[in-house]
Structure formats: C-alpha cells, structure tokens
Amino acid sequence: MRSYVATPTTVVRRWHVIDAEGRVLGRIATQAAKMLQGKHKATYTPFIDTGDHVVIVNAAKVKLTGRKEEQKLYRRHSGHLGSLREERATTVRQRRPERLIEEAVRGMLPKTKLGEAMYRKLKVYARPDHPHRAQQPTTIEVA
C-alpha cells in the first residue's frame, strides 16, 4: 500500500478566524501554528506547506497568565553592536498588541524557508474587524 504525499497543486487552503478576546496567549498560538502548518488535516506532509490561512482578531485583549505581563521581555537586535532592544509585555501591548501573538506563533513554526511561507499566512489584528470577509473564513473556538 502506498502512502499519500500532498503536492503544492493539490493543497486546498481554507481561511479560519480565531477570536483572542479573553483567551490565553499560548493556547491561541499553538492552535494557530498547528493550522498554519496543516497538521489538522489528513493530507499533512512535512515538507510541503499544506496549511491554511489564519486570521486572529482582538489581539489587544489576549490574556497572559501569571506575572508575564510585567516580567516577559520581547527582544530585538539589528545586528549592530549595542543595538539590543528590550520591552516588557505591558509596553508591547500598548504600542503594538499584534506583536504578542505574532512572536508567539513565529516561535512555534519551523525556522526554515517553509516556516516563513507558513508565517506569511498569519494575519493578526488588534481590533475585532478584519478585511478578509470575502474569503468567508470559518470561526474556530480555542479552549
């Protein structure tokens, strides 16, 4: 019996919406990463991008557990000496709340060109409205 291997021409991509209001950051990120990789499909193939598009709304209202709001640091570095920048989660939430979810999901995806292609299918919005209504996305509930 032969195994099924998906090809880029046979992949069917769907659109999903996740509402992040009052949900825990890690739970949303793991669900989104799984859908971006295509692991929720029976046709999952590790070396082909079989994932779906994921739209996350209400990113500004995502919940961080414990003392992560004050203790969690987001770092970025331009590559030049002395250019390391650190911000706490509270300031990141005020300045650019989408980054909380983007960084969490990016960390769960492969660190390859294939992972970058998967990451490009993620759309995060701080407010409840999004411009992807024409794609008729399905709503996904996260526990």
Closest CA to 129 of 61, 57, 71, 65: 57
DSSP code string of 71-135: H-EEEEE-SSTT-EEEEEHHHHHHH-THHHHHHHHHHHS-SSHHHHHHHTTEEE-SSS--S-GGG
Q: Give 17-57 pLDDT, tens digit per residue.
A: 999 999 999 999 999 999 999 999 999 999 999 999 999 99
Q: Give 55-102 pLDDT, tens digit per residue.
A: 999 999 999 999 999 999 999 999 999 999 999 999 999 999 999 999
pTM above 0.85, yes or no: yes
pLDDT at 1 over 90: no
Residue 55 near residue 16, CB atoms below 8 Å: yes
Q: Which backbone phi and psi does 86 adopt, to 5 degrees? A: -125, 140
Q: In the chain, pLDDT over 70 holds for what percent of residues?
A: 100
pLDDT at 3 over 90: no
Domains and CATH numbers, the chain: 15-66+97-140 (3.90.1180.10)
pLDDT at 71: 97
If pLDDT is split at 50, 70 and 90, which confidence band does 143 have?
Answer: confident
pLDDT at 6: 93
